[in-house]
Structure 1
Amino acid sequence: MAQEIIKILMTDDHPMIIEGYQNTLLATKKESQKLIIDIATNCDESLELINKSISLGEHYTVCFFDISMPPSSDGEFKSGEDLALYVRKKTRRTKIVMLTMFDESYRIHSIINNIDPEGFLIKSDITSRELASAFQAVLHNPPFYSGTVNQIIKRTRFSNLEVDEVNHHILYLISKSMKNKDIAKELNLSLSSIEKKKKLLKEIFKVEEGDEKTLIEKAKGYGFLNN
């Protein structure tokens, strides 16, 4: 039987974590699989490897990206999320797995909407068995989301409330006590647009005008924000 050659890029700024993931995948791979694993501990190293693989026509099969990464030296890439978006623009052949310590509902929905990763793992969910299962699922039956990610997605979907990404972002910023003018600046929207969107959100969540405290409480209750 011919071996299935799987090229992997792991990007995480904690070498011990990469070593653990690497050892797990090598120990649990199928006999028919040959893994070639490259590692990067910052955005610059990751970009160099990504661009080299593309120029050689040897695209990675799977890229693992930790979301929280030191920015690239030119400041263009500020996170693993930026690296994942770059890979998505360059090729759809590479499967993407996002890794994070954070379980903020808004960030998780944003990454799913913008990147649509084949895998999404919260680090606190990961065991050796979970990582091994995720890897095989990403290769042959994506997507694979870890337990916490699935719970967050289910809560908002079961609410049957339609909240688009921009409005979800506004909810998140309101929960951080940002003023309208600062939200407008953050999202590059006019102040009147922010006011209209906040009014719409209050209609969606059936909250009286001006009652932002109840709006945030209801958004948390429906899973759009963390408690």
Structure 2
Amino acid sequence: MENEKINIVIVDDHPIVIEGLRMMLNSQPFFNVAESFVSGSETMSYIRSHKVDIILLDIALPDANGTELCREIKKISPETSVIMFSNRSERSIIMQSIQNGASGYLLKNTSINELVICIKGALSGDIVFCNETKQIISRPSQNDVPIPRLTKREKQILQLVAQGKTSNIIAEELFLSPLTVDTHRKNLLQKFHAKNSTELINRAVQQRLIEE
């Protein structure tokens, strides 16, 4: 047990970030970067058949939102500690990550010393934050909008609204009544605290729920 290494997986869409982390972590005794991935789908496939102690997970991935991916990882592998590792510093995203089962949230300017301490803390069952993240969550911002939970239908309609389609066209494409589409649109505005479709789309883009 003394010589058993902690298996770490890095998930980030920037290879240079992955290589930098791999070098730093592998230089530490008892740490082993077992694998790295640039997408959520690859990560999910891997954890279904491998034991992973720690996952360092970015928010913005080409095929997934990191906060949602964290929740899916915890369903499959509840014993794995997921630490979000991102440039995104919005308080709402930090808190959403913790709600979805993350063991911590670190910004990418975190020092290697702080990273090591946080990994060890997460393995001990603590919720860990870098110093800058601690400062962010200690002063709530009224402008922060939490990432809303959307139904499958709401996600479909959101994508079509972002394409500039009217309620009538969306209704035809999805075989719904225009009234039902309008109801979904109103619900989306409420969930995003948006006054109109433009604000709705902007906030959905900021939350990485749709592409620009």
TM-score range, shorter chain: 0.5 to 0.7
In proportion to residue count, which structure has more helix? 1
Specify the alignment match of 1:69 in structure 2.
61
Counterpart residue identity of residue 184, structure 1: N
**Equivalent in 84, 89, 112 of residue 75 of structure 2:** 89
Identity value in percent? 24
TM, length-normalised to structure 2? 0.64
Secondary structure class of the residue paired with 1:28: coil
Specify the alignment match of 2:8 in structure 1.
8
Spell out structure 1 runs of 4+ moving beyond 4 A. Answer: 167-170, 186-189
Query: C-alpha separation between the residues in 2 aligned to 1:129 and 1:152?
Result: 20
Structure with larger RCO (C-alpha < 8 A, sep 6+): 1
Question: CA distance change for structure 1 residues 187 and 12 in 2, over 3 Å: closer, same or farther?
Answer: farther
Secondary structure class of the residue paired with 1:20: helix
C-alpha distance after superposition, 1:82-121 (max 9, x if no partner):
2211111123211111011111122222222232x22210
Question: CA distance change for structure 1 residues 89 and 14 in 2, over 3 Å: closer, same or farther?
Answer: same
**Please, which runs of 5 or more residues in structure 2 have no aligned partner?**
149-183, 194-212
TM, length-normalised to structure 1? 0.60
Q: How many Å apart are 1:36 and its aligned residue?
A: 4.7
Question: CA distance change for structure 1 residues 121 and 36 in 2, over 3 Å: closer, same or farther?
Answer: closer
**Equivalent in 98, 102, 108 of residue 123 of structure 1:** 108
What aligned pairs does 1:184-203 form with structure 2 within 5 A after superposition?
184-186=187-189
**Please, which runs of 5 or more residues in structure 1 have no aligned partner?**
54-58, 72-77, 171-180, 195-227
What aligned pairs does 1:32-181 form with structure 2 within 5 A after superposition?
33=30, 35-53=32-50, 59-71=51-63, 78-115=64-101, 117-124=102-109, 126-140=110-124, 142-156=126-140
Specify the alignment match of 1:21 in structure 2.
21
Specify the alignment match of 2:165 in structure 1.
none
Q: How many Å apart are 1:8 and its aligned residue?
A: 1.6
Specify the alignment match of 1:219 in structure 2.
none
| Aligned-pair Cα RMSD in Å | 3.1
Specify the alignment match of 1:206 in structure 2.
none
Query: C-alpha separation between the residues in 1 aligned to 2:48 and 2:121?
Result: 26
Q: How many Å apart are 1:186 and its aligned residue?
A: 4.8
